[in-house]
Amino acid sequence: MLRTQEDSQVRIVALANLTAMVDHVTSGPCHRYRIEKVTRTRVYVSYSNPDEYGNDHPMVAVFPCLPALCSDEPKNVRVVLEILRVQFDSWDGEGWQAFDPLVNCPKLWRNPQTGTWQTEETIQKEREV
């Protein structure tokens, strides 16, 4: 009997980190990401890249989420960075690719000196100056 096997690592981030990641990968008026809705079990993130007429054509990636680890931050859920589905997929079933920059965003940390979200490399460079 053939059995499917899998051994993988899944990235899980806090909602606060996902918010910082959305800001990090959003590039001005185009390639906009936004957290649309957070429910008990799902997080909805939209992506839009307006066309030449200013029409957004947003797609929405649905990510699973888990309860927060800290009881003092119940709204800061943990988001599993595995897309369950893409709603309003305008890329003929390939809409998940629009969310690659978000899913593959480098790890971001809050800079203890400035309070801004940055990569570890950027924080280290600022400490050296």
Q: Are 61 and 44 spatial neighbours (Cβ–Cβ below 8 Å)?
A: yes
Q: Does residue 3 lie in a domain region? A: no
Q: Does residue 5 lie in a domain region? A: no
Low pLDDT (below 50) residues in the chain = none
Instruction: Tell me which residue range forms the domain holding 22.
Output: 12-128
Q: Does residue 99 lie in a domain region? A: yes
Q: Does residue 4 lie in a domain region? A: no
Q: Does residue 83 lie in a domain region? A: yes
Domain count, the chain: 1
pLDDT of 48 reads: 94
pLDDT of 79 reads: 97
pLDDT of 36 reads: 97
Q: Are 70 and 78 spatial neighbours (Cβ–Cβ below 8 Å)?
A: no
Q: Does residue 115 lie in a domain region? A: yes
